[in-house]
Amino acid sequence: MSSHIHHSITDIPGILVGHAHDKEALTGCTVILCPKGATAGVDQRGGAPGTRETDLLHPVHLVEKVHAIVLAGGSAFGLDAASGVMRYLEERQIGFDVGVTRVPIVPAAILFDLDVGNPKVRPDAAMGYQACLNATTPNTAQGNVGAGMGATVGKILGIRQAMKSGLGTASVEIGRGVIVGAIVAVNALGDVINPANGQILAGARPLYIGPKRIGETETFANTLHVMRSLVGRTAFQFATRQNTVIGVVATNARLNKEQVTRVAQMAQDGLAQTIRPAHTMFDGDTIFALATGERNADVNIIGAFAAQVVAEAILNAVRYAEPAAGLPSAASLQA
């Protein structure tokens, strides 16, 4: 493996990552900058998305390249962070040339973190701009940073029985200089599973009603186990749309818009490998894909490894998370 690999999406040349967040309010945003532009696609699953500028990424539409992707907390309010990113790029004359100016193309996706910190503080244009100022390569920050600052997982029994999650990144070099990387903010309804052994790393914790335990073990309730019970079925009916996994997978391969869209679709398999359940009506799971066009590679191979790096990024998001808002993290439970 090459020495320049830092196991981060910023291993792809031309990709920079910046974070900005409020540690007290437990919210933040992450910007993935590609100033030279990158061919982009998106795959959105789950029933509760919060997105901006995703329609233009459809293969039949005109614009092929984007200049940044924004991942943010703050629910729909957090989409405002993209305005700050647009200002940053416009000031540097980066964007789609429309003659009279250049319009930066900045799709965005958000997650719901209003229930763990200060719900009145959300990512805004100023925070998005600051994230751009903070953008570097390499950038290996993980856990309670950027869009992952207020992320949680395992919420079928309510936020008090959930666990702290965060943001993770990963990359792999697959030969001939071709690199695939991912960055993911994990805010899922379900549990995060280690696919190597099927064990829960982070997720819903058991609820005790008197002497009765709602959950499979003393450590983890196991969301699928709870869903089989009367309490679980009732809780699931009243689950709120406060969950989502949002991320970006990127490569330096040369792909067209249809192919990069396929990579985004295949990358969603990383969620299926590591989150149980994934893509529910209460999740807004959205994965963007970027291709910078420097190396020749087969789209099927890129897509296969995209799923792998997304899975690894998800595992890193919970492994590097730190306790917050009274919620434990995977590392704190093992301590």
Per-residue pLDDT of 113-140, as tens digits, reads: 999 999 999 999 999 999 999 999 999 9
The DSSP-derived string for 284-318 is: --EEEEEEEEEE---HHHHHHHHHHHHHHHHHHHH
3-state secondary structure 7-25: CCHHHCCCCEEEEEEECCC
C-alpha torsion sign, points 210, 212, 218, 223: negative
**Cα 314 to chain centroid, rounded:** 8
Q: Which pTM was predicted?
A: 0.94
Q: Provide the residue type at 48 as one letter.
A: A
In CATH, what class is 9-196+240-334? Answer: alpha beta
Give mean pLDDT, residues 138-165: 95
Domain boundaries, the chain: 9-196+240-334
- Radius of gyration (Cα) for the chain, nearest Å? 19
The DSSP-derived string for 168-232 is: EEEEEEEETTEEEEEEEEEE-SSEEEETTTTEEEE-PPPEEETTEEESSSSS---HHHHHHSHHH
Per-residue pLDDT of 242-292, as tens digits, reads: 788 999 999 999 999 999 999 999 999 999 999 999 888 778 899 999 999
User: Rounded distance, CA 328 to CA 332, Å?
Assistant: 6
The enclosing H or E element of 52 equals strand 51-52
Q: Across the strands, what pairs with 290?
A: 40, 250
